[in-house]
Structure 1
Amino acid sequence: METDAQQLSALARRDILAATVQLIERHYERIYAFLRRLAGNDADAADLTQRTFSRAQQALPTFAGRSSVASWVHGIAYHIYVDWRRANGRTEARPDEWWKLRRSAETGPDQQVLRSDLAACVYACVDRLQADLRQTVHLHYYQELTLQETADAMGVAVSTVKYRLRQALDELQKQLAAEPNSSTVTLPRPARL
């Protein structure tokens, strides 16, 4: 049975336009959300997303399907973002407060306030992480990529991803412990890193 990557690779050899449409339909929302989180605003995220899919379309004929499509597209998006930051003289991403717009699935107002406050605290702590740690957290936890997919997207070894995640979790635990309203917050440790 062919994987999505192999199917996309085969489709790209037959019909590049159809392959591009399929790629955009399946991955646009996740790539946009990833870039929105990194760039800090809708306009830049939309521009970076467009650049990502434009570059992906150019690279589709050479995509061999050896990695997952998600990690391949996230890798392109990540490199587009890094290039954009360098070109604009940015050394750090701008603060992002998109999480204030998120709504909780909880129905009670008390639960919504608690979850919103906790989310705000966690996202603020994540935004204070070093760039490499923050981007690793975004890919693995927010975009739900596997360790291998995160490594592929960032162009690093899986062991580097594991190390960065461990560093990020340790740093987040310290930051959350220092937050005045987060004394009861404990970050769950993944089963295996």
Structure 2
Amino acid sequence: MARAREADAIAVLIAAQRGDPAAQSALFSAHRDDVARQIQRMTGDASIVDDLVQEVFISAFSALPGFRRDARLDTWLYRITVNKVRNWWDAKRRRLRREDRVATSPSEPVATPEDQATTTEHLGRLYAALGELPDKYREAFTARAIDNLSLQEASERLGVPVSTVSYRTRKAEERLCTLLGLDPEEAR
């Protein structure tokens, strides 16, 4: 039964590589939700998920004829997703810098302690701080802390040794604590 499903999946992949629209649609349907969840976890911004999913699959289908199947398709799509999210973070940082340069009004009023207690604001602060991290630290932290992947799973997804994932995750935690004004010892 499992071999039959695997054979069907390979047949669909081969057809999609040849440009078969039905096979590409089947691949999209099979992987869309996973890609969307990954984007949501990495950005924290539900409003851009659909756009980035579309970008991921446009890139994937453009590169699909060259996919050699030496990696799993979901791992390959994960890497494309990570790259699209990186591009999104970079563009967001550039846009915010431009907006800061042209802004003429004073900064936003400081939120009250009651406002800061809301989950939405905490998540907003976390994702803003995540956006300040270098890509390699943000990706390791997201894989371990948000996706709850084991060190081994994160290592496979990110294509780096387990020790590198561990180091990058630890560094990301330290920087996030600094950016969020938390004591790293109390945050543990």
Kindly provide the CA deviation profile for residues 110-149 of structure 1, in whole angstroms up to 9, marking residues without a partner as x.
Answer: xxx7766765665555444333312322234334455455
Cα displacement (A) at 1:75: 0.3
Q: d(CA) in 2 for partners of 1:18 and 1:42?
A: 28
1:6-25 mapped onto 2 (5 Å cutoff) = 8-14=9-15, 16-25=20-29
Distance 2:155 2:4 in 1: 19
Provide the identity percentage: 23
Q: C-alpha distance in 1, partners of 2:69/2:6? A: 4
| Higher normalized contact order (CA 8 Å, seq sep 6+, divided by chain length) | 1
Equivalent position of 2:187 in the other structure: 186
Q: What runs of 5+ residues in structure 1 fail to find an aligned partner?
A: 96-112, 188-193
* AA aligned opposite 1:56: A
In 2: Cα distance, 1:4 partner to 1:67 partner: 18
Using the size of structure 1 for normalisation, the TM-score is: 0.56
> For the aligned residues, what is the CA RMSD?
4.3
User: Within the alignment, does 1:131 sit opposite 2:135 as a pair?
Assistant: yes
Name the counterpart of 1:166: 170
Could you tell me how far 1:69 is from its partner in structure 2? 3.1
Query: Which of the pair has more CA radius of gyration?
Result: 2
Residue pair 2:44, 2:123 contacting (<8 A) in 1 also: no
| Unaligned segments of structure 2, at least 5 residues | 97-116
Question: What letter matches 1:186 in structure 2?
Answer: A
Distance change in 2, residues 1:65/1:29 (3 Å):
same
Q: Displacement of 1:50 after TM fit?
A: 1.0
- Taking a change above 3 Å as real, the CA distance of residues 80 and 2 of structure 1, as seen in their structure-2 partners, is farther
Say whether the 8 Å CA contact 1:56–1:73 is kept in structure 2.
yes
What one-letter code is carried by the residue in structure 2 that aligns with 1:9?
I
* Partner in structure 2 of residue 42 of structure 1: 47
Tell me if the contact between 2:12 and 2:26 (Cα under 8 Å) persists in the aligned partners: no
Shift of residue 78 of structure 1?
1.8
Q: Match of 1:32?
A: 36
- Cα deviation for residue 64 of structure 1 reads 4.4
* CA drift at 1:22: 3.4
Separation (CA, whole Å) in 2 of partners of 1:4 and 1:137 = 33
Higher share in helix: 2
Aligned to 1:104: none
Shift of residue 164, structure 1, vs aligned partner: 0.8
Q: 1:166/1:119 Cα in 2 relative to 1: closer, same or farther (>3 Å)?
A: same
Match of 2:187, SS? coil
Aligned equivalents of 1:14, 1:175: Cα separation in 2: 48
Note if contact 1:48-1:80 (Cα within 8 Å) is conserved in structure 2. Answer: yes
Alpha-carbon contact 2:39-2:81 (below 8 Å) kept? yes
Cα displacement (A) at 1:65: 4.0
